[in-house]
Structure 1
C-alpha cells in the first residue's frame, strides 16, 4: 500500500518540481501513532526555503485532491531533507564526492556495518570512502548492493 502511494505521489509531484526547478529527494508515507504522514522532501542548489515548500505543498495538495490516491486521512508535509540529506540516487552519490558521509551496510564488511568518512569515489557498483581510525587514514570499498542506508554526515570541527 505505502509503496503504491509513494510511487503515485512521485508521479504527481515530479512535474510540479520540474516547473519550479526543484529536485525530489524522497517521498515517505508512514504511520506514526494513529496518524498517517505523507512526507515529500525537496531540494535545489543552495537549499530550499519555506516559500518553496509552501508552493509545492499547495500545488501537490490540489493534485492529491483530484486523484485521491490515499483512502485514509493523512498529514502532508513538504520540507528540505536537511543537512544530513539521504543519498538515494547515483547522482546523489556523485554530488557527494569529497563530502563526509555515513553509510550503514546490510552485512559486515571487514567486521563493520557502519562507516563514516570522506566519499572519494562512486562508480555505480562500489562506494569508496576514506575513513580515519585514530590518526591513520584508510580506504574502504563498499559494494553498492550492500549499502542499506547512506546520508551526508555533518561534522563539527
Structure 2
C-alpha cells in the first residue's frame, strides 16, 4: 500500500518543490497513522509540512485509497532518517545504519552496520569488519544513525 500511496502523492509533492522521501502507514485501529516524509536541500520547516499536508489531504480525500480511519502526519525524515529504497542507502555510503530484516539471515535479524556498496537492490553493510549483503526487499525497516563529532 505504501508504494501505491507514494506513486499517487509524489507528483504533487514534487510540484511543490519537495522530494517525497517516503510513505509509511502504521496500522493501529482508529489510531492508524499515515506518515509522509518530505525532503529539500534547504531543509524542511513546519510551514512546509503544513503546505504539503493540505495538498496531500486534498488528494487523499478525492482518491480515498485508505478505507480505515487514520491520522495524516507530514514531516522531515530528520537526522535518523528512515530508508525506503536502495537508492537512499547509496546516498549515505560510509554512514552507519540500524537495520531490521524480515527474516533472520546468517544469524542476524537486527544489526547496526556501515553502509557499503549498493548495487541495484543489493546493499552491502560492514559489520565488525565483515561484509554482509542483503536485498532491499529483505529489509523490514532501517534508519540512519547520526554521527556527532
Structure 1 pair 131–47 and aligned structure 2 pair: CA distance change class (3 A): farther
Query: Which is greater in Rg?
Result: 1
Paired residues of 2:98 and 2:144 also in contact (CA < 8 A): yes
User: When the two structures are superposed, what TM-score results if normalisation uses the length of structure 1?
Assistant: 0.76
Residue 108 in 1 paired to residue 105 in 2?
yes
Structure 1 pair 74–124 and aligned structure 2 pair: CA distance change class (3 A): same
Paired residues of 1:100 and 1:119 also in contact (CA < 8 A): yes
The match for 1:147 among 103, 127, 139 is 139
Between the aligned partners of 2:49 and 2:122, the Cα distance in structure 1 is: 34
User: When the two structures are superposed, what TM-score results if normalisation uses the length of structure 2?
Assistant: 0.79
The match for 2:45 among 45, 49, 52 is 49
The alignment partner of 2:80 has SS state of: coil
Structure 1, unmatched stretches of 5+, are 133-137
The offset of 1:57, in angstroms, is 0.5
The offset of 1:98, in angstroms, is 1.6
Structure 2, unmatched stretches of 5+, are none
Residues matched between the structures, number: 147
Structure 1 pair 37–154 and aligned structure 2 pair: CA distance change class (3 A): same
C-alpha root-mean-square deviation of aligned residues, in Å?
A: 2.4
The offset of 1:72, in angstroms, is 4.3
